[in-house]
């Protein structure tokens, strides 16, 4: 089935689906980019200075976009008011999230209700890939407050009779599993490592019945986690890419599972300084933001964009793969290693429900957690890491612990601790 986002984007462009092309989308995006630059330069103190010599009408090609300076989270943290284009009292929703570095700063991303409304629209169309009218949807992520993930999904899908229950993040596995059994969902939306742990729990507590699909979001989605859930539950596993800065929604993969079909009529995505394989840092420019425009915002994610036609029939560029976050990588033995690569090896063992990773010079230290009745083969895991991920002769130290869940205050995103000079 062709991704339903294509039909939605065609309608936003005001053209029939059969006329939708990458060229038509690019022309539309350039127009929206010019509008965004003009608005930001006129209303945002930060961009008034940053874009002072930029004429919006001069932006006619992607090459023109690349001549504009990028924006980073360090520009935002601590000086959010300089980005605001409206009075602070007119802001409807503020998300406060940590920056990705080790300095401990936090950034506040501000929205009006109108800024967040397109995410509701996108979720409706993108989720039609796997949602059916009347489905029971269990959201195992935070979000009953207005504008949160759970609330946005609920408002998106209620028009087609989807019954949404927001459980929240998984902390105690037994409680979460009982919620799955009681609600009997057709679809589960959750955080990758937490749903992977729930799948491990189900091995000894009875497999779920009727979970047709699982959507993983809010963190890296290793193939090993996809495979675990699919094999144990018989569910088709989809993934979502999004950021607070994109208004939560960013892209959803299709039935072909060959990358994320992007919310391309509401944002411009580009790869900064791609390497010979096309990988580089992803930057995004959301369109139409009233409160807090962000132009060429560096996400910290290393990714690649594909312009090839998707096997599902989609014709637009898609975010093909996310290699990992720069802040979740280290250099060991002269090689850049991403946390996601380590997760691929570790989560290949179905006994593992959690891990912590520290790069200490040329030594990799892992704490691997299993359920009390389970055990992992640490020697085999060391061998896999050395063979498939790490440079030869890297020291790998693995400690094994048991757990029955996760700390309530824990971030949905995993982080690698790096103790070394980069």
pLDDT digits 0-9 by tens, 373-397: 999 999 999 999 999 999 888 899 9
pLDDT digits 0-9 by tens, 228-249: 999 999 999 999 999 999 999 9
How many domains in the chain?
Answer: 2
Per-residue confidence (pLDDT) for residue 101, from 0 to 100: 55
Same-domain check for residues 395 and 285: no
| Backbone torsions φ then ψ of 265, nearest 5 degrees | -85, -10
Q: Residue written as tokens 């411009």?
A: 268
In order, the DSSP letters of 290-351 are SS---SSEEEEEEEEEE-SPPTTS--S-EEEEEEEEGGGEEEETTEEEEHHHHHHHHTTSTT
The pTM of the full predicted model, rounded to 2 decimals, is 0.94
H/E element, 94? strand 93-98
Closest CA to 305 of 276, 324, 325, 279: 279
Of all residues in the chain, the percent with pLDDT exceeding 90 is 84
Q: Is the dihedral of CA 192, 198, 202, 208 positive or negative?
A: negative
In order, the DSSP letters of 177-228 are HHHHHHH--SEEEE-HHHHHHHHHHHHHH---S---EEEE-SS---HHHHHH
Q: Which domain holds residue 66?
A: 1-323
Same-domain check for residues 285 and 354: no
Judged against a pLDDT cut of 60, whether residue 28 lies above it is answered with yes
Instruction: Put the strands of the sheet holding 416-419 in their side by side order.
Output: 395-402, 363-370, 352-360, 416-419
Question: Domain ends where: 277, 304, 323?
Answer: 323
Same-domain check for residues 342 and 312: no
Instruction: Put the strands of the sheet holding 136-140 in their side by side order.
Output: 163-166, 136-140, 187-190, 213-216, 236-241, 251-253, 260-262, 318-325, 297-306, 280-286, 267-272
Answer for the pair 140, 195: CB distance below 8 angstroms, yes or no: yes
Question: Domain ends where: 323, 349, 372?
Answer: 323
Same-domain check for residues 197 and 241: yes
Cα(188)–Cα(179) distance, rounded to whole angstroms?
A: 11
pLDDT digits 0-9 by tens, 261-313: 999 999 999 999 999 999 999 999 999 999 999 999 999 999 999 999 999 99
More confident residue, 317 or 417: 317
Number of neighbouring beta carbons within 10 Å of residue 363: 14
Closest CA to 397 of 368, 372, 371, 364: 364
Question: Domain ends where: 323, 341, 358?
Answer: 323
Same-domain check for residues 247 and 358: no
Cα(111)–Cα(293) distance, rounded to whole angstroms?
A: 9
Same-domain check for residues 232 and 150: yes
CATH number of residue 382's parent domain: 3.30.300.30
**Which DSSP category does 249 fall into?**
-
pLDDT digits 0-9 by tens, 180-220: 999 999 999 999 999 999 999 999 888 888 999 999 998 88
H/E element, 32? helix 22-43
Per-residue confidence (pLDDT) for residue 201, from 0 to 100: 94
What the block records as the tokens of 153 is 């999904």
What the block records as the tokens of 202 is 């189900």
Same-domain check for residues 293 and 333: no
pLDDT digits 0-9 by tens, 323-342: 999 999 998 888 999 999 99
Arithmetic mean of pLDDT over the chain: 93
Per-residue confidence (pLDDT) for residue 146, from 0 to 100: 76
Q: What is the band of 422 on the pLDDT scale with cuts at 50, 70, 90? A: very low
In order, the DSSP letters of 336-373 are EEEHHHHHHHHTTSTTEEEEEEEEETTEEEEEEEE-TT
More confident residue, 148 or 228: 228
Same-domain check for residues 319 and 182: yes
Same-domain check for residues 263 and 228: yes
Same-domain check for residues 127 and 185: yes
| Backbone torsions φ then ψ of 218, nearest 5 degrees | 80, -5
β-strand pairing of 395-402 with 329-332 = unpaired
Same-domain check for residues 97 and 153: yes
More confident residue, 341 or 422: 341
H/E element, 272? strand 267-272
Q: What is the band of 361 on the pLDDT scale with cuts at 50, 70, 90? A: confident
In order, the DSSP letters of 127-187 are HTTT--TT-EEEEESS--STTSHHHHHHHHHGGGT-EEEE--S--BHHHHHHHHHHH--SE
Per-residue confidence (pLDDT) for residue 321, from 0 to 100: 83
Separation in Å, CA 56 to CA 38, 41, 95, 137, 189: 6, 9, 29, 43, 40
CATH number of residue 312's parent domain: 3.40.50.12780
Choose from 90-99, 145-154, 197-206, 306-315 the range with maximum mean pLDDT: 306-315
Helices 22-43 and 4-13 sit at what angle, rounded to 10 degrees? 60
Range 245-257 average pLDDT: 95
Q: What is the band of 102 on the pLDDT scale with cuts at 50, 70, 90? A: very low
What the block records as the tokens of 307 is 């312009």
Beta bridge partners of 367: 356, 399
Per-residue confidence (pLDDT) for residue 98, from 0 to 100: 81
Same-domain check for residues 241 and 347: no
């Amino acid at each position: 089935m062709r991704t339903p986002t294509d039909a939605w984007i065609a309608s936003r462009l005001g053209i029939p689906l059969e006329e939708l092309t990458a060229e038509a989308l690019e022309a539309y995006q350039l127009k929206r980019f010019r509008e965004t630059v003009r608005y930001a330069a006129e209303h945002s103190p930060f961009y008034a200075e940053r874009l002072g010599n930029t004429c919006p009408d001069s932006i006619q090609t992607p090459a023109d976009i690349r001549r504009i300076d990028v924006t980073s989270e360090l520009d935002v943290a601590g000086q959010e008011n300089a980005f605001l284009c409206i009075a602070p009292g007119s802001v409807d929703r503020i998300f406060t999230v940590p920056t990705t570095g080790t300095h401990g700063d936090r950034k506040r991303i501000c929205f009006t209700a109108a800024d967040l409304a397109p995410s509701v629209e996108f979720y409706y169309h993108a989720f039609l890939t796997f949602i059916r009218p009347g489905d029971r949807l269990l959201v195992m992520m935070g979000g009953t407050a207005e504008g949160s993930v759970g609330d946005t999904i609920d408002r998106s899908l209620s028009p087609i009779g989807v019954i949404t229950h927001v459980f929240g993040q998984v902390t105690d596995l037994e409680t979460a599993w009982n919620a799955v059994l009681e609600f009997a969902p057709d679809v589960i939306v959750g955080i990758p490592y937490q749903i992977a742990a729930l799948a491990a729990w189900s091995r000894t507590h009875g497999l779920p019945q009727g979970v047709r699909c699982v959507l993983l979001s809010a963190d890296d989605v290793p193939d090993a986690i996809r495979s675990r859930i699919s094999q144990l539950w018989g569910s088709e596993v989809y993934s979502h890419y999004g950021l607070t800065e994109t208004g939560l929604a960013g892209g959803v993969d299709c039935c072909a599972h060959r990358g994320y079909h992007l919310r391309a009529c509401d944002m411009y995505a580009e790869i900064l300084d791609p390497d010979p394989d096309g990988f580089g840092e992803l930057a995004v420019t959301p369109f139409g933001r009233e409160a807090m425009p962000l132009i060429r915002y560096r996400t910290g994610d290393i990714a690649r964009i594909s312009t090839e036609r998707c096997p599902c029939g989609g014709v637009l560029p898609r975010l093909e793969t996310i290699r990992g976050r720069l802040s979740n990588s280290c250099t060991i033995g002269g090689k850049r290693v991403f946390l996601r690569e380590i997760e691929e090896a570790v989560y290949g063992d179905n006994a593992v429900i959690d891990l912590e990773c520290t790069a200490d010079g040329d030594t990799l230290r892992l704490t691997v957690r299993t359920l009390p009745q389970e055990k992992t083969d640490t020697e085999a895991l060391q061998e896999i890491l050395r063979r498939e991920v790490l440079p030869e002769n890297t020291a790998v130290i693995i400690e094994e612990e048991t757990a029955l869940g996760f700390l309530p205050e824990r971030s949905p995103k995993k982080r690698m601790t790096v103790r070394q000079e980069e």
